[in-house]
């Protein structure tokens, strides 16, 4: 069984669990140690069982709980070389906690993890393609101002894709953010809009992807229903129907019991999330 559980998603904090074959990978630690520990326990995982914390980049909403977690539990940290150097220089990783540099493909006992570069204003931002030993493929790409050829290639063919749908263009333009912040968000090194997300969903469905989780929604410049409907409406115009050609879900701002379990058969479990 493979579980993908987005515990927290958005500018206030990001944290996601991928579990398969006894291995448990935490993607980012953007909430407090207490919040992450409690969320893990809700799905019967103890934080000390984690195989590692895989950091996409160094922004605070992705590393907030990292120092306390490494201090209390010494869980290994995996990051690109510039991100690891930043985390160590700023004392975000405690003491002699093992730090592993992500360069190319990383083979674990039951999963293979392939980091790929994302376009974001970070010292070394990445997404991940995770392959399980039973042939499942999971793509994770948030915090990207645009979908580069490298990002698209890394996500193609994944059974489940976690993709950013950060902001609605009109809400951002008419909202209270300062002009320079709006420009940063809309830039090629900022975040992905609902419209650009929908365009990529179309391409990914064409490549064989069937399940999607929209993630990293802005609290101020987006709404879950708006992100969902923007994608569904666009795809319906391309004769791609939700529930027939693909399934679409929204990652919660804070954990609300949603689990995505990759396997068969397809059915909905009340209070437990989606089994696919």
pLDDT tier at 82, thresholds 50, 70, 90? very high
Q: Please, is 44 exposed, middle or buried when counting C-beta atoms within 10 Å of its C-beta (0-12, 13-18, 19+)?
A: exposed
Distance of alpha carbon 156 from its chain centroid, rounded? Answer: 16
pLDDT tier at 255, thresholds 50, 70, 90? confident
pLDDT tier at 263, thresholds 50, 70, 90? low
Note the pLDDT of residue 1: 87
Spell out the residues 6+ positions from residue 225 whose beta carbon is closer than 8 angstroms to its own. none
Strands 247-250 and 211-215: parallel
Collapse the DSSP code of 27 into the 3-class scheme (helix H, G, I; strand E, B; otherwise coil) and give the result. strand
Q: CA–CA separation, 162 vs 223, rounded Å?
A: 17
Note the pLDDT of residue 72: 98
Q: CA–CA separation, 37 vs 249, rounded Å?
A: 24
Q: CA–CA separation, 113 vs 137, rounded Å?
A: 10
pLDDT tens by residue, 222-250: 999 999 999 999 999 999 999 999 999 99
Collapse the DSSP code of 197 into the 3-class scheme (helix H, G, I; strand E, B; otherwise coil) and give the result. helix
Note the pLDDT of residue 267: 31
**Predicted structure pTM score:** 0.94
Residue 217: C-alpha distances to residues 58, 111, 142 (Å): 19, 28, 10
Nearest to 164 by CA among 62, 256, 261: 62
Note the pLDDT of residue 262: 77
pLDDT tens by residue, 2-49: 999 999 999 999 999 999 999 999 999 999 999 999 999 999 999 999
Nearest to 168 by CA among 203, 219, 120: 219
**In the block, which residue shows the tokens 């064409």?**
206
Residue 206: C-alpha distances to residues 109, 153, 194, 216 (Å): 31, 12, 19, 23
Q: Which two tokens stand for residue 194?
A: 């609902």
Q: CA–CA separation, 177 vs 185, rounded Å?
A: 10
Q: Please, is 124 exposed, middle or buried when counting C-beta atoms within 10 Å of its C-beta (0-12, 13-18, 19+)?
A: buried
For residues 32 and 239, the answer to whether their CB atoms sit within 8 Å is no
Q: CA–CA separation, 125 vs 144, rounded Å?
A: 9
Residue 205: C-alpha distances to residues 119, 244, 248 (Å): 22, 12, 11
Q: Which domains does the chain have, with CATH numbers?
A: 2-275 (3.60.15.10)
């Amino acid at each position: 069984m493979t579980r993908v559980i987005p515990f927290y998603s958005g500018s206030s904090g990001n944290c996601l669990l991928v579990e398969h074959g006894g291995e448990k990978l935490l993607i980012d630690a953007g909430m407090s140690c207490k919040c992450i520990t409690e969320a893990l326990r809700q799905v019967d995982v103890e934080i000390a069982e984690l195989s590692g914390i895989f950091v996409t980049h160094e922004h605070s909403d992705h590393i907030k709980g990292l120092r306390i977690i490494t201090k209390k539990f010494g869980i290994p940290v995996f990051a690109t070389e510039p991100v690891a150097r930043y985390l160590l220089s700023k004392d975000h990783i405690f003491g002699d906690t093992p730090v592993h540099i992500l360069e190319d493909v990383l083979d674990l006992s039951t999963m293979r993890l392939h980091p790929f570069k994302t376009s974001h204003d970070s010292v070394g931002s990445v997404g991940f393609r995770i392959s399980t030993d039973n042939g499942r493929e999971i793509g994770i790409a948030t915090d990207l101002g645009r979908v580069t050829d490298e990002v698209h290639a890394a996500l193609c063919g994944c059974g489940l894709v976690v993709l950013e749908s950060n902001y609605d263009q009109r809400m951002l333009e008419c909202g209270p953010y300062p002009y320079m912040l709006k420009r940063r968000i809309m830039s090629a090194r900022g975040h992905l809009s609902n419209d650009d997300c929908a365009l990529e969903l179309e391409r990914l469905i064409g490549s064989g992807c069937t399940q999607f989780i929209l993630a990293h929604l802005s609290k101020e410049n987006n709404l879950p229903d708006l992100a969902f409907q923007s994608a569904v409406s666009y795809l319906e115009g391309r004769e791609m129907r939700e529930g027939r050609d693909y399934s679409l879900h929204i990652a919660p701002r804070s954990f609300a019991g949603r689990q995505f379990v990759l396997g068969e058969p397809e059915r909905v479990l009340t209070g437990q999330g989606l089994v696919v």
